Structure 1
Amino acid sequence: MSTAMDKDTLNYYRHIFLESLEDISNSNRQQKAWMGGDYKDFNTFTEIFESFASPCEYVMKWPVLSDQQREDLKKLYDMLMSYQDKKEEGGKMIDKTDSEICQDPLWNEIRTFARKVYRDLEPIGRRGQCCR
């Protein structure tokens, strides 16, 4: 069984999954976009979340991940899945704004942990390894 990624999978990993993970961890870009309104070359919270969460279960199964990388990725995934991006206002639940998320202390914990996970996983994309 080969652990080398095919070209399409590697490109997806580098340009979608890792990019979204880096975006989750990047406080400067979030502040510029989500608080300053400059979304040029940056996505909303929802777009970043979906770009990361959707393929994450697949990536967690890659045999090239160490047990610690897999555990950290699962922890981050769980943190994101349980993050409350809604608030109660006027007796109903509404979405928090990107700005509110950016300033949320719980989001900052997620962002900080995501930076660690990104630094641990980014070299896999450079090596071009994955699973078949």
Structure 2
Amino acid sequence: MITIMDKNALNYYRDIFLENLEGISNIDKQKRAWTDGDYEGFNTFIEIFESFVSPCEYVMKWSVLSDQQRLDLEKLYEMLINYQDTKTEGGKIVKKTDSEICQDPLWNEIRTFARKVYRDLEPIGRNKEG
């Protein structure tokens, strides 16, 4: 039996969490926003990062996830937490621009893995009963 709280969590998952996971995995949207400057309907790196990482620890505990889905989500979480979004410039540590992140080979690895995780989790989001 699914409680109202579970339904609310699943609705959040469908509406926000999966949307941000898809954003992490979508090179076309990132290029359009982060490289070309057309942010209409898309967020900055930091906004997507925070909107995904913040609820991820909670989502990883859901019973509807398979062991593999949970492991993949944990791996993606760790990849994101450990991603270096700073660089040294003129002896100072500064944040990378969204464009630099979009073109970073390490970010591409994260984006590629996020695509796999998104494809594996997306059917849960379509299941209205959870």
- Range class of TM-score, shorter chain: over 0.9
1:63-103 Cα distance to aligned partner (Å, 9 max, x none): 11100000000000000000000001111111000000000
Q: Structure 1 residues 129, 69: CA separation in 2 closer, same or farther (over 3 Å shift)?
A: farther
Q: Following TM superposition, where does structure 1 have runs of at least 4 consecutive aligned residues deviating by more than 4 angstroms?
A: none
Query: How does 1:37-52 map onto structure 2 within 5 Å?
Result: 37-52=37-52
Q: Structure 1 residues 129, 71: CA separation in 2 closer, same or farther (over 3 Å shift)?
A: farther
Query: How does 1:95-106 map onto structure 2 within 5 Å?
Result: 95-106=95-106
RMSD: 1.5
TM normalised by structure 1 equals: 0.92
Q: Secondary structure at the match of 1:43?
A: coil
Aligned counterparts of 1:115 and 1:129: Cα–Cα separation in 2: 24
Q: Which residue of 1 aligns with 2:11?
A: 11
Aligned counterparts of 1:20 and 1:67: Cα–Cα separation in 2: 22
Deviation at 1:129, TM superposition (A): 5.2
Aligned counterparts of 1:10 and 1:62: Cα–Cα separation in 2: 10
Q: Which residue of 2 aligns with 1:59?
A: 59
Deviation at 1:45, TM superposition (A): 0.1
Query: How does 1:51-130 map onto structure 2 within 5 Å?
Result: 51-128=51-128
Whether the 8 Å CA contact 1:17–1:55 is kept in 2: the answer is yes
Structure 2: runs of 5 or more not aligned? none
Whether the 8 Å CA contact 1:3–1:129 is kept in 2: the answer is no
Deviation at 1:12, TM superposition (A): 1.1
Structure 1: runs of 5 or more not aligned? none
Deviation at 1:3, TM superposition (A): 7.6
Q: Which residue of 2 aligns with 1:25?
A: 25
Q: Secondary structure at the match of 2:50?
A: helix
Tell me the matched-pair count. Answer: 129
